[in-house]
């Protein structure tokens, strides 16, 4: 950090802004930092600025008091959208901004909003926009810890808490009651499977998912296939001759996805938001990794999770497209995934046991 100054934890902030324009997974990994801000400034109002998914993850008010939505891919896209956002924030009189996003735009918004204290990771293109410029760690670590490092470096210390999302219990009960007939079949465990990972290189192909499902005996589980709108064709090839498959790809809101993952006994997913949602609600997750690094963007270090990597020598390449053979995600076998699923299902409370 820059020359020594009064630790921010000693400042009496009453109106705090946190900025992160990331998508679902990165926002979930922001939650320990939001929890630390909440604990450091219990009397302050904390507002999060983020994309529309931020509202879905944190609207219940346990971590933040308000969410300001900036839809950078919608009507608010571009420089004009940033200016309108800055004007809106300026009227709110924030006294401190913690800028977790690394972009130039996020620092510019806080600067134009005339927030007197602006904390963020330094970069030569945006240093002049920050009042507290923090040097990034020498060795990249898990994103949850990098967010906490930003706070540590300005004197805001605390315990490292797990990732979390807000759950609206009333809406959760309503949704799960509607789904009860399809999900709760004779007390069978529920296995949520997300086959796609956003990038083609992060996805697990339908024939491998089918291979996993075929390893289970008859009538021993209910499989729920999940994914985002636009992924329906990929998932249409997934089936099981032995067990019920509930295909909900493209048919859930983000909040409903949270409820499904929380209801599940175990989740199987490549590196995508579903991994982080499972970690946030305490559901065991079997995470499949190839082109990305789990030590950077995998399940929260404290989560109940297993990470399975592909078996090639070019892992963690971060390529979004690849023509190499064998393809890393194709080398993750149904048998090794099932072994981890079975391990977590064996820990499942017996049917009828008290919760």
Q: Do domains 8-152 and 169-345 have the same CATH topology?
A: yes
Per-residue model confidence (pLDDT) at position 278: 97
CB atoms within 10 A of CB 350: 6
Task: Examine the pLDDT at 3 and tell me if it is beyond 80.
Answer: no
As a whole number of angstroms, the distance between CA 346 and CA 128 comes to: 55
Per-residue model confidence (pLDDT) at position 59: 82
Helix 334-345 / helix 206-214 crossing angle, nearest 10 deg: 50
As a whole number of angstroms, the distance between CA 300 and CA 280 comes to: 8
Q: Domain ranges in the chain?
A: 8-152, 169-345
Per-residue model confidence (pLDDT) at position 266: 98
76: confidence class by pLDDT, cuts 50, 70, 90: confident
Whole-structure pTM value: 0.91
Task: Examine the pLDDT at 5 and tell me if it is beyond 70.
Answer: no
Listing DSSP states for 135-173 in one string gives PPPSS---HHHHHHHHHHTTT-----PPP-----HHHHH
198: confidence class by pLDDT, cuts 50, 70, 90: confident
Residues in contact with 118: Cβ distance below 8 Å, sequence separation at least 6, in sequence order: 96, 97, 99, 107, 110, 111, 129, 130, 131, 132
Q: Taking residues 217-223, report their average pLDDT.
A: 95
Q: Taking residues 116-136, report their average pLDDT.
A: 93
Name residue, tokens 């509930």. 246
CATH number among 3.40.50.1100, 3.10.450.240, 3.40.50.2000, 1.25.40.10, domain 8-152: 3.40.50.2000
Task: Examine the pLDDT at 189 and tell me if it is beyond 80.
Answer: yes
Residue spans of alpha helices (H) in the chain: 24-40, 52-58, 78-90, 104-112, 143-152, 169-183, 206-214, 232-235, 254-263, 273-281, 294-297, 334-345
6: confidence class by pLDDT, cuts 50, 70, 90: low
Residues in contact with 60: Cβ distance below 8 Å, sequence separation at least 6, in sequence order: 166, 167, 168
Per-residue model confidence (pLDDT) at position 80: 83
pLDDT tens digits along 332-355: 999 999 999 999 999 987 654 444
Helix 273-281 / helix 254-263 crossing angle, nearest 10 deg: 60
Q: Integer distance in angstroms from the first to the last C-alpha of the chain?
A: 47
Task: Examine the pLDDT at 258 and tell me if it is beyond 50.
Answer: yes
Output the average pLDDT for the chain.
91
Per-residue model confidence (pLDDT) at position 350: 64
CB distance 111 to 146 below 8 Å: no
CB distance 17 to 97 below 8 Å: yes
Q: Taking residues 211-216, report their average pLDDT.
A: 97
Q: Taking residues 64-93, report their average pLDDT.
A: 87
Question: In CATH, what class is 169-345?
Answer: alpha beta
Task: Examine the pLDDT at 78 and tell me if it is beyond 80.
Answer: no
pLDDT tens digits along 9-63: 778 899 999 999 999 999 999 999 999 999 999 999 999 999 999 999 998 778 9
Burial of residue 207, with CB atoms counted within 10 A of its CB: 0-12 exposed, 13-18 middle, 19 or more buried: exposed
Share of the chain above pLDDT 90, in %: 78
CA 155 to chain CA centroid, Å, is 26
Dihedrals phi, psi of 2, to nearest 5 degrees: -70, 180
Per-residue model confidence (pLDDT) at position 355: 42
Share of the chain above pLDDT 70, in %: 95
pLDDT tens digits along 278-330: 999 999 999 999 999 999 999 998 899 999 999 999 999 999 999 888 999 99
pLDDT tens digits along 141-178: 899 999 999 999 999 999 999 999 998 889 999 999 99
Q: Taking residues 116-138, report their average pLDDT.
A: 93
Q: Taking residues 59-71, report their average pLDDT.
A: 89
pLDDT tens digits along 261-271: 999 999 999 99
Give the closest residue to 244 by CA, choosing from 265, 219, 227, 269.
Answer: 219
As a whole number of angstroms, the distance between CA 144 and CA 147 comes to: 5
């Amino acid at each position: 950090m820059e020359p020594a100054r009064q630790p921010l934890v000693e400042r009496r902030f009453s109106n705090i802004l946190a900025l992160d324009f990331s998508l679902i997974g990165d926002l979930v990994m922001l939650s320990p930092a939001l929890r630390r801000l909440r604990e450091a400034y219990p009397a302050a109002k904390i507002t999060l600025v983020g994309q529309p998914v931020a509202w879905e993850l944190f609207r219940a008010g346990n971590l933040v008091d308000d969410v300001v939505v900036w839809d950078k891919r919608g009507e608010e896209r571009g420089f004009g959208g940033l200016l309108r956002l800055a004007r809106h924030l300026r009227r709110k009189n924030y006294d401190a901004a913690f800028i977790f996003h690394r972009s130039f735009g996020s620092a510019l918004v806080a600067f134009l909003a005339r927030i007197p204290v602006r904390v963020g990771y330094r970069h030569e293109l945006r240093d002049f926009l920050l009042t507290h410029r923090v040097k990034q760690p020498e060795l990249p670590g898990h994103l949850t810890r990098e967010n906490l490092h930003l706070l540590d470096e300005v004197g805001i210390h605390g315990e490292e808490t797990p990732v979390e999302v807000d759950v609206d219990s009333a809406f959760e009960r309503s949704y799960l009651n509607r789904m009860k007939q399809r999900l709760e079949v004779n007390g069978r465990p529920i296995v949520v499977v997300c086959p796609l990972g956003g990038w083609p290189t992060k996805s697990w192909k339908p024939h491998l998912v089918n291979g996993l499902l075929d390893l289970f005996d008859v009538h021993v589980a209910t499989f729920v296939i999940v994914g985002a709108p636009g992924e329906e064709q990929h998932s249409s090839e997934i089936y099981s001759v032995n067990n019920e498959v509930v295909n909900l790809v493209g048919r859930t809101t983000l909040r409903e996805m949270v409820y499904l993952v929380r209801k599940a006994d175990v989740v199987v997913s490549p590196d995508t938001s579903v991994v982080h949602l499972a970690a946030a609600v305490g559901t065991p997750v079997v995470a499949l990794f190839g082109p990305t690094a789990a030590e950077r963007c995998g399940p929260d270090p404290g989560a109940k999770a297993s990470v399975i990597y592909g078996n090639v020598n070019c892992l963690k390449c971060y390529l979004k497209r690849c023509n190499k053979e064998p393809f890393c995600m194709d080398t993750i076998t149904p048998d090794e995934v099932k072994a981890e699923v079975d391990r977590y299902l064996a820990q499942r409370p017996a049917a009828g046991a008290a919760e």
